[in-house]
Chains A and B, each alone.
Chain A
Amino acid sequence: MNARIMAAPAAATVRRSRYAAPGLYLFALPATLLFVVFIAYPILWVTGQSFFTRSAGGAPVFTGLASYREAILDPVFWTVVRNMALWGAITIPVQMLIGGLLAYFIERHTIRLRGFFRTMFFLPVVTSVSVISLVWVQIYAPYYGIAQAYLKHVGIVMTSSAIGDASSAIYALILVNIWQWTGFSMLMYIAGIAGLPGEVLDAARVDGAKGWRLAVHVIVPMLAPATKSLLLLGVIGTLQTFPIVHLMTGGGPNHASEVFGTLIFKRSFVLGDTGAGATLSVIVLLIALVLSLIQIVFLGASLSPARKERP
């Protein structure tokens, strides 16, 4: 009761002071302007464009929601949805697992070569996607490729390219993506491990936890914020996938490795139908929104271990 009595005048004071000094709102102006100009306006503009269709050289024609219906009825759209689901379902946990293991072994079991291993495993993250794509196309190439050059010593002859086969193209690209981004997961977990409170670990050891038990029952739960961050970034990264696919397969063969990024690019810039591209962009935005809300509901909005729940 007392707390309520004390809280009411305090809130009133805050409200009064804001009204008394409207200039304070000016501090929010730069962020608001940036949001409106670079986020809100483009979203509204793209949403507006999604209600029109335009063929090469033709004038825009209002189609309303028909463009959404057409997009969803297109079999290629569902190929893309399947590919995106595979991409997220495979890359996110595999990157987390390998990245986490790398971080654990580097941080717990190396001393002198710690910096070396961290750098080596992080190197693909900072390497140009163009370079990575060129190298991996050569690795996958049968007959004259890099992998073939080694495999021939053990009598293996590659007769097809994994990225040239409709049944394996998406998995071949997922492998490249995992190879490139696992170092980022490792770095996040290294940061998480470095921030673990020593007293908790010591207490766990005193209680007899060690090795696998210590890792699974103490360290992994305490790394939950890093895991949540990686999950969130993984989902966003999956929906943003474009350069590796564009450079290695172009979404082919025959749409087999198509992702939202390449499909939107083709519709907008190759076919010149900016309306169809905008429609797909809005759909991707809605999917991202739904997935983010699901994560917030089930995992919570907090990504920091330092945040305390309100009493």
Chain B
Amino acid sequence: MTRIKGLRRLVGLAAAALLGTGLAAPSAQAQQKEVTVWSWFIQSTMQKSIAAFEKQHPDVKVNYTYYNYSPEYITALKAAAASGSLPDVIGLQPGSLTQQYRDDLAPVNDLAAKAWGAGWADKVFPVNRKQMLMGNPQGDENYYIVPQESQVLCIWYNRKLFETLKLGVPKTYDELKAAAKALTAGGYIPMFQGAADGWQNENVFLMLANQFSAGIVDKAQAGTAKWTSPELVSAMKAWKGLFDDGIFQQGALGAHAYPTGAQLFAQARVGMMALGSWWMQESKFPPPLSQYIQNMDGFDFFYLPAVAGAPGASPPVGGIDIGYGLTKNGARNPAAWTFLASLTNGEALQEALNDLNDLPAFAGHEPKGDVSDHVKAMSARFMTDLPKAENQRFAQPAVAEALDNALAGVADGSLQPEAALAAVQAATDKALGK
């Protein structure tokens, strides 16, 4: 009997404990809001951003899922969109990627105005603002992407190698050719081009095209200029010249910028490489770092000198490096916007800038903390150029793909510049419904 009583007491206590747990659990869950985020953004930096955000908002838990961009991220997005299970916040590139998910994204105009004031968009650098609307149907002024970071394209060079070989920063195309020749003679790769990657080819072509006529690629993709115009044909010929003149390394068409090119560049086996402001982040990667990468001591940048027939050097070209969209699922979760606002224009962004991930998309931010004077100076130069940067992005993926194929075809000699650009024009006409 005593044993039965004891057993009853035990069961009673267990039931009370379970009841208590059951009652307590929902209230704890109710207090802890959750935000789900997917992106290809570097995980270590994102974790720092999330930690900074969660410190400011202890009632919100951010769950971040990192993907490689291609094919993992873009296939995961497609599958999640088809099944209505997109996370609250997704990483986006402006233009085609944003447009593919426009139906699944919530416009952020009102939320941004409420958080940052009516004139918030004026604080976004002009090239970014343009890219935020890129590809929207006519009359749709909604913003479906909030930029987090910007970039400016440039030619990085190893200044220690240049000093060793007694080379100055190339100011003319002939000086660039001479530098490439000296580097090759010294046993180095002159300018590493990962020409198997369409994106790096596009970037160099944009530098060239904007030398001949600033903004002409933008006009061509919008249908207000022809891809077969003399300026773009000249740019395409200059592109071929970079291969023929020994500026790019031999066999560039089979090479990838990442990881191969970046590793060789970091190890001082490469003299120059067409990258962008994001290259500064290498100095914040976990050790061991090469002596050239430490505080970016070995590196500096310049803009591509004027090629034959071009009136001047490449102007800054760039725009949004990465942005984020609030999905329609996320629009039902107020904490999602709170995080997105922090990630793009708040304490979470500051962590990314401190990691030198790239340049801010909004004016008024700069990297802080453990950053060398040399890096600060380079960052300031980029920031000076960013407001006047030409657009780097494409609204229609079909146009970008056609340009990638044209650039590869011209580079390997299987296409003539005029015919290659005619194919891009045909793809543009089709994409624009002409």
Contact A246 to B431, CB < 8 A, known contacts A159-B251, A164-B195: no
Please tell me which one of the listed residues A55, A140, A143, A266 contacts residue B249 in the complex, with CB atoms under 8 A apart. Answer: A143
> 1/0 contact trace for A244-273 toward B, CB 8 Å?
001011101111000000000110111110
Contact A165 to B398, CB < 8 A, known contacts A57-B99, A57-B100, A269-B75: no
> In this complex, what residue of A is CB-closest to B256?
A137
Q: Which residues of B contact A141 (CB under 8 A)?
A: 251, 254-255, 260
Are the C-beta atoms of A161 and B251 separated by less than 8 Å? yes
> 1/0 contact trace for A55-77 toward B, CB 8 Å?
11100000000000000000000
Q: Which residues of A contact B195 (CB under 8 A)?
A: 164, 253
> In this complex, what residue of B is CB-closest to A158?
B251
> In this complex, what residue of A is CB-closest to B195?
A164
Chain A contact patch, size range: 35 or more
Are the C-beta atoms of B255 and A161 separated by less than 8 Å? yes
Contact A56 to B254, CB < 8 A, known contacts A144-B189, A254-B412, A269-B71: no
> In this complex, what residue of A is CB-closest to B404?
A252
Report the Cα distance A57→B397, complex, angstroms: 11
Q: Which residues of B contact A274 (CB under 8 A)?
A: 78
Chain B's interface: helix, strand, loop or mixed, by majority?
helix
Report the Cα distance A159→B184, complex, angstroms: 13
Nearest CB of B to A209, in Å:
49
Please tell me which one of the listed residues A134, A164, A265, A268 contacts residue B196 in the complex, with CB atoms under 8 A apart. Answer: A164
Report the Cα distance A125→B189, complex, angstroms: 34
> 1/0 contact trace for A155-167 toward B, CB 8 Å?
0001111111110
Report the Cα distance A265→B74, complex, angstroms: 10
> 1/0 contact trace for B130-152 toward A, CB 8 Å?
00000101000000000000000
Please tell me if B401 contacts chain A, counting CB pairs below 8 Å: yes
Please tell me if A138 contacts chain B, counting CB pairs below 8 Å: yes
Contact A253 to B396, CB < 8 A, known contacts A164-B254, A269-B74: no
Are the C-beta atoms of A254 and B408 separated by less than 8 Å? yes
Please tell me if B269 contacts chain A, counting CB pairs below 8 Å: yes
Chain A's interface: helix, strand, loop or mixed, by majority?
loop
Please tell me if A142 contacts chain B, counting CB pairs below 8 Å: yes
Contact A271 to B251, CB < 8 A, known contacts A144-B189, A250-B196: no
Are the C-beta atoms of B78 and A268 separated by less than 8 Å? yes
Are the C-beta atoms of B198 and A250 separated by less than 8 Å? yes
Are the C-beta atoms of A164 and B252 separated by less than 8 Å? yes
Contact A57 to B135, CB < 8 A, known contacts A158-B251, A163-B254, A164-B195: yes
Are the C-beta atoms of B250 and A159 separated by less than 8 Å? yes
Query: Quick one: which of A141-176 are within 8 Å of B by CB?
Result: 141-145, 158-166, 169
Q: Which residues of B contact A253 (CB under 8 A)?
A: 195-196, 253, 408-409, 411-412
Nearest CB of A to B249, in Å:
6
Query: Quick one: which of B384-404 are within 8 Å of A by CB?
Result: 396-398, 401, 404
Are the C-beta atoms of B411 and A246 separated by less than 8 Å? no
> In this complex, what residue of B is CB-closest to A265?
B71
Report the Cα distance A254→B409, complex, angstroms: 6
Nearest CB of A to B27, in Å:
39
Give the A-binding residues of B (Cβ under 8 A).
70-71, 74-75, 78, 96, 99-100, 102-103, 135, 137, 189, 195-198, 249-256, 259-260, 264, 269, 396-398, 401, 404-406, 408-409, 411-412, 414-415, 431
Return 7 A-B CB contacts under 8 Å, by A number: A56-B100, A137-B256, A140-B251, A165-B412, A252-B408, A254-B409, A272-B397
